[in-house]
Structure formats: structure tokens, C-alpha cells
Amino acid sequence: MASSTKGIVRLSSAERTLITIPEEIKEILVGILLGDAHIAKRSLTSNSRLVYAQTAVTHIEYFNYVFSFFKYFCVNGYTPQLRIVRDNRTKKTYSAISFTTMQLPCFNVFKDMFYSLNVKKIPDNIY
């Protein structure tokens, strides 16, 4: 383990490799990836991370329910991020809450499954 510039203890590459997604969480992950979640990579060689967001006021209970399954994949003591978002299309402002997991190898398979050239797609094996 190493420390980051923000004082967060980072996992080693070997420690990250040991983290796996239980089967029941994989089912939840596929479900939210079909909706509001997305998987991102910071670079071609980095691991993937899950990003999930909801409109805070009206969906906070559901957000907390989803977060309860994925907080294990976030850094210790992680707090979801609350922010104000302006929709440029509608010019409306609203609050949103989101979480982002650590960059982990266990998310790479889902990045490969759901994305082609960084465009989200529905995998062929989902029916």
C-alpha cells in the first residue's frame, strides 16, 4: 500500500487483482450499466472504474441502496459526491449525487463487454 497526494492509502497492483465481484453484485452491476451507470478508464493502460449518479432529491433512497453494494469497491471512508448540475439543453439546475469506485481489474471485463471504441452498447449476450 502507498499513500497518494490526497492522503488516501492506495492498494498495490497485487492487492487490486485480489478484489473480485461476487456473482449477485455482478447481476446488479449489469442492471445499472443498462441504465444510469457507466464504466470509465483514465487511460488505455489503466484499470476501469464504475461511476454511478442519480438526481439527489428524488432518488436518494435508491442511490443509497445501490451504493451499499458498491461501497466495498471505493476507498475506505469514501463519501458520495453531492453537486449542483446545470443541464445545458433545458437550462435547468438540479442536485445530483454520485460515487466512483477505485480503478480495479474486476471492472475491466464489464468495460470490454459494454463498450466498443468508448461507445456504450448492449452486449450481445444480454437478452
CA pair distance 24, 97, nearest whole angstrom: 24
Take residue 12 and report the three cell numbers written for it: 498495490
Q: What is the pLDDT of residue 35?
A: 92
Q: What is the pLDDT of residue 48?
A: 97
Query: pLDDT tens digit string along 87-123?
Result: 899 999 989 999 999 999 999 999 999 999 889 999 9
With respect to residue 124, please indicate whether it lies within any of the assigned structural domains.
Answer: no
What is the value of pTM for the model shown? 0.85
Q: What is the pLDDT of residue 1?
A: 53
With respect to residue 99, please indicate whether it lies within any of the assigned structural domains.
Answer: yes
Nearest to 28, CA basis, from 19, 20, 37? 37
pLDDT band at 5, cuts 50/70/90? Answer: very low
Number of domains in the chain: 1
Query: pLDDT tens digit string along 10-67?
Result: 888 898 989 999 999 999 999 999 999 999 999 989 999 999 999 877 889 999 999 9
Take residue 51 and report the three cell numbers written for it: 461511476
Its domain, for residue 80, covers 2-116
With respect to residue 103, please indicate whether it lies within any of the assigned structural domains.
Answer: yes
Ranges of beta strands (E only) in 30-80 are: 38-41, 48-55
- Whichever domain contains 6, its CATH number is 3.10.28.10
With respect to residue 126, please indicate whether it lies within any of the assigned structural domains.
Answer: no
